Amino acid sequence: MSPRTIEGPKEQLYRVPLVRVDIGDEGPQLTEVGTPEWLTESFIRKSYGAAPDRLRGFRVSGDAMSGSLQAGDRTRGILWEGESLIDGAIYVLYSEPGGIVYRRVRFESEKIRLVADHPDMADRTLKADAWHKRFRPVAHILEIVRAI
């Protein structure tokens, strides 16, 4: 196939950066690392229901979520902008004092349980008011992107 027979999408491509969450003086900050992806706006809106400028790639470190996420996995997530959390969804969370974790969020009456899918990792349960003081969502993880 010659290059002149290859056709690209008829719409604009959006750059989706791969980022690392760093802890700065004012909390979590995103630092671009690695190779970005290029996706069309229609794909992003149809697949993730969000504006293209909110989509980011994240690389998983650690094994707390093994069973769902493996260390080294590339994920796609939507930056959190204050919307309601979704029961059962996986989030990148910033915790005081200064840490980043991937956890599944579960609601239980007046409590929030942070679930680590690894069988040897204990879940963490907090009262709703303690949750707001200790954790801040960074992104809602929507998809794992694995190479074949």
pLDDT tens per residue, range 1-16: 445 555 666 788 899 9
Q: What pLDDT does residue 133 have?
A: 85
Whose structure tokens read 């959190």? 80
Q: Which CATH class is domain 12-145?
A: mainly beta
State the Cα–Cα distance between residues 52 and 49, nearest whole angstrom: 9
Mind listing the pLDDT tens digit for each residue in 34-48? 899 999 999 999 999
Sketch the domain layout of the chain as residue ranges: 12-145
pLDDT of 49 > 80? The answer is yes
Give dist(CA 146, CA 143) in Å, integer.
10
Residue with tokens 């069988």: 119
Lowest-confidence range among 2-16, 81-95, 105-119, 124-138? 2-16
Give the strands of the sheet with 111-115, arranged side by side. Answer: 27-32, 18-24, 55-59, 74-79, 135-145, 90-95, 99-108, 111-115, 124-127
Question: DSSP assignment of 79-112, as one string?
Answer: EP-SPPP-TT-EEEEEETTTEEEEEEEEEETTEE
Q: What is the mean pLDDT of residues 113-133?
A: 88
